[in-house]
């Protein structure tokens, strides 16, 4: 994959393994959660969650529907507050981009306009630079020809790709992705993973990716954290499960 932007936001140096990869275990904690609890009525969506994510990690949050994955991502992203427990974030400025399970596209705007909302003049040197990144990501995911259609008229796969590209275009330090490929076939899901993995290796992009599809997570590289009934019951790599 060709390098399509120089991200000036990523000024940190990262501990590396002897092979030159980021060594997340020696990097700072982006999130550190202790005993998180959150109930909706009598449903214990989070029932005592301890969860740490280091800078430069790729973590797959797996578990069946209703296990609490979205709730945990929302708590990490600051969208909702836990009832109990402690959540600390990195002491450095960390820009987090969410990818919502329900996408949150602006339905009556074109796909292109949906992407333009990520333009930030303090992040990009110029609109031209932003457009160049946008074109590269759109080309990689094969959506360039269809950018003019309204979000509400786009098919499920296209809508997911737009929501993913919109998040990437903010040049985040952390991506909190909630089922980002549920409407995509494996080939396209792999393209999304490859883009995330590229930025992870190159810049230490931290990724937390929630999916109920354990097979998918097993095919990619990252730590798997498995949830069940609001609890984390496993953390480790696929090969040890
Ligand atoms: N706003 C809410 N009001 C009431 N109950 C909720 C709310 N949000 C989540 N829940 C409940 O909390 C539990 C955990 O939900 P959550 O959405 O976090 O699960 P999930 O693992 O993301 O599931 P899925 O794979 O279906 O997306 C579920 O029983 C769900 O019904
Ligand atoms: Mg969910």
| Nearest of 70, 55, 38, 77 to residue 178 by alpha carbon | 70
Secondary element (H or E) of residue 140: helix 127-140
Please report, for the domain that includes residue 70, its CATH number: 3.40.50.300
Secondary element (H or E) of residue 241: none
The answer, yes or no, to whether any atom of ligand 1 lies below 6 A from the CB of 66, is yes
pLDDT-derived band at 20 (thresholds 50, 70, 90) equals low
Q: Which of 141, 169, 197 is the last residue of a domain?
A: 169
Cα–Cα distance for residue pair 45/219, rounded to 1 Å: 27
Q: Does 18 reside within a domain?
A: no
The answer, yes or no, to whether any atom of ligand 1 lies below 6 A from the CB of 65, is yes
Q: Does 225 reside within a domain?
A: yes
| Nearest of 135, 207, 122 to residue 172 by alpha carbon | 207
**In this structure, are 85 and 202 located in the same domain?**
yes
Whether the predicted pLDDT of 134 surpasses 80: yes
In the prediction, which pLDDT does 7 show? 47
Q: Which of 169, 192, 215 is the last residue of a domain?
A: 169
Q: How far is the CA of 178 from the centre of ligand 2 (A)?
A: 7
State which residues form the domain around 39: 30-94+173-241
pLDDT-derived band at 22 (thresholds 50, 70, 90) equals low
* CA-closest residue to ligand 1 atom 16: 68
Number of domains in the chain: 2
Whether the predicted pLDDT of 162 surpasses 90: yes
What's the maximum distance between 2 C-alpha atoms anywhere in the chain? 51
Per-residue model confidence as pLDDT tens digits over 46-98: 999 999 999 999 999 999 999 999 999 999 999 999 999 999 999 998 999 99
Q: Does 36 reside within a domain?
A: yes
**In this structure, are 188 and 165 located in the same domain?**
no
In the prediction, which pLDDT does 14 show? 65
**In this structure, are 129 and 159 located in the same domain?**
yes
The answer, yes or no, to whether any atom of ligand 1 lies below 6 A from the CB of 49, is no
* CA-closest residue to ligand 1 atom 28: 66
Residue appearing with tokens 């959540």: 87
* CA-closest residue to ligand 1 atom 11: 45
Q: Does 210 reside within a domain?
A: yes
Q: Which residue has the higher pLDDT, 6 or 202?
A: 202
């Amino acid at each position: 994959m060709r390098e399509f932007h120089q991200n000036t936001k990523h000024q940190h140096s990262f501990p590396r393994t002897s092979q030159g990869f980021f060594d997340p275990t020696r990097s700072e904690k982006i999130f550190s959660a202790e005993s998180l609890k959150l109930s909706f009525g009598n449903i214990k969506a989070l029932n005592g969650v301890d969860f740490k994510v280091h800078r430069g990690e790729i973590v797959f949050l797996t578990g069946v529907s209703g296990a609490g994955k979205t709730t945990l991502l929302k708590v990490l992203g600051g969208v909702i507050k836990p009832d109990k427990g402690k959540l600390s974030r990195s002491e450095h400025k960390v820009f987090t981009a969410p990818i919502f399970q329900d996408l949150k596209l602006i339905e009556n705007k074109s796909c292109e306009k949906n992407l333009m909302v990520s333009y930030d003049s303090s992040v990009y040197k110029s609109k031209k630079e932003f457009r160049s990144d946008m074109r590269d990501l759109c080309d990689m995911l094969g959506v360039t020809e269809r950018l003019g259609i309204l979000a509400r008229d786009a098919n499920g796969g296209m809508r997911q790709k737009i929501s993913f590209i919109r998040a990437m275009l903010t040049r985040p330090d952390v991506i909190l992705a909630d089922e980002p490929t549920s409407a995509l076939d494996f080939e396209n899901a792999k393209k999304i993973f490859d883009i995330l993995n590229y930025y992870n290796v190159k810049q230490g992009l931290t990724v937390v990716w929630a999916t109920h599809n354990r097979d998918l997570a097993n095919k990619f590289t990252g730590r798997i954290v498995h949830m069940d009934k609001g609890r984390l019951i496993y953390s480790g790599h696929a090969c040890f499960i």
